[in-house]
Amino acid sequence: MTKYRIKGGKPLSGEIEISGAKNAAVAIIPAALLVDGVCRIENLPQISDVTLLLNILKLMGAEVRTVNKHTMDIDCRKIRVAEGPAELMRSIRASYYLIGSMLGKFGRARGSMPGGCDFGVRPIDQHVKGFRAMGAEVSIENGMIIADTASGRLNGAHIYLDVASVGATMNIMIAAAKANGRTVIENAAKEPHIVDLANFLNSMGADVKGAGTSVIKINGVEHMSGGFYSIIPDQIEAGTYLAAVAGAGGEVLIKNVIPKHLDCITAKLVEMGVSIEERGDAVLVRRTGPLRSTKVKTMPYPGFPTDMQPQITTLLTIAEGTSVVTEEVWDDRFRYVSQLNRMGANVQVDGKLAVVQGVKNLKGAPVKACDLRAGAAMVIAGLCADGVTYVEDIHHIERGYEDIVEKLRGVGADIARVVDNPHDKAAGEETA
């Protein structure tokens, strides 16, 4: 088994370069199916979710060419099947975007229900509602989604989302890009990756307006011709490293960010006593004194992101005083708290509330990455803790963080990927 070994207590210093945004990439890759030409996508993060989606497209018949580590040419012109490979689709949440893109391209789609991080019920009723409003018949049977239109093309429609769902907003945008007529999405989500998807679609020839506001209008086009697109920097990856420096101490320049996208995170860090300085497309984060307790409530953008909740809760475990964290987006996103408490944290969870009583310091322990962001939180906990922490189930972390070990080592962290399979390598032998 490969895990991370972290020797905590070392302040961090230097620079970290942020990769392209995972949650934009995982929508843009499926959306490439709509394009009647070659899409060159730049600033793709090298993470396992991206590899998996590219493999899905390849299995469906796409040609994917690596230009360099972060740039791929994707050509989906030869794809003729409106069916995604069931097993791979099941292993990733974002595979639901293939249903939108197959419907947009062929007027029909078949694939398995999505997988992904497990933090309670993750319905897709708003996606389905959108597809139905556009004229598709949709059924879900034995874990498969089957969608079909009588005419072979979706029709534009007026869709009011009951919740401002990121996935439903993006899936409907993808499906509507080549629909017949105009689609209006009301109560749309406003996350930065929604604007990025709209920019990608528009740069390929679509006509999407209003992304980033709660009303998005999509005029369906006949043809999307291909072109270049560069993905925005990852807001949550940047936030995770900001939190790591805030916890471990030191001073790090986080490069290749859009500071505006980080405001919802940095505002809380500043409240906690962390120094943040904007420097063009970088931010300098510095821990100058003790961390202070605060209240955090997760909300859709521009509120505090749920995908930063485990990381900030981890910081609050070593802040002075009592903090309250309210999780408003997902029903069951505090499962990782038992892992933090193994490290000496004092966090009590009651439904969507976590009460965090700050302790002087965390102590290294073996812990598990319960999901992607919870895993990142365990890495932060390990960097802050006295002694050695082993983080297991790191495949969750590597779904969404490119080169996390290398990036942290680059700023002086004592972290290594180690193997402890006795039949393979000696316990604790380093692999990176």
Q: Residue 46: which region, alpha, beta or left (left: phi > 0; alpha: psi -120 to 50)?
A: beta
Q: What is the DSSP string of 194-260?
A: HHHHHHHHHHTT-EEE-BTBSEEEEE--S----EEEEPPB-HHHHHHHHHHHHHH-EEEEEES--HH
7 forms beta bridges with 388, 414
Q: Which is nearer to ligand EPU, 100 or 358 (CB)?
A: 100
Q: Which is nearer to ligand EPU, 70 or 190 (CB)?
A: 190
Give yes or no for a contact between 93 and 171, defined as CB atoms under 8 angstroms apart.
no
117 is catalytic: yes
The least CB distance from residue 179 to ligand EPU, in Å, is 19
Q: How far is CA 60 from the centre of its chain?
A: 24
Q: Which is nearer to ligand EPU, 75 or 327 (CB)?
A: 327
The least CB distance from residue 24 to ligand EPU, in Å, is 8
Q: Which of 76, 117, 370, 384 is catalytic?
A: 117
The least CB distance from residue 49 to ligand EPU, in Å, is 8
Q: What is the CA radius of gyration of the chain?
A: 22
Work out the number of other CB atoms within 10 angstroms of the CB of residue 255. 17
Q: How far is CA 114 from the centre of its chain?
A: 15
CA 10 to CA 39: how far, in whole Å? 43
Distance, first Cα to last Cα, the chain: 14
The least CB distance from residue 121 to ligand EPU, in Å, is 6
Q: Which is nearer to ligand EPU, 130 or 250 (CB)?
A: 130
The least CB distance from residue 322 to ligand EPU, in Å, is 26
Q: Which is nearer to ligand EPU, 87 or 118 (CB)?
A: 118
Contacts of 306 (CB under 8 A, 6+ apart): 298, 327, 328, 329, 330, 333
Q: What residues make contact with ligand EPU under the rule CB under 6 A?
A: 23, 26, 93-94, 117, 122-127, 163, 165-168, 189, 306-307, 329-330, 372-373, 400
Report, as residue numbers or ranges, the catalytic residues.
117
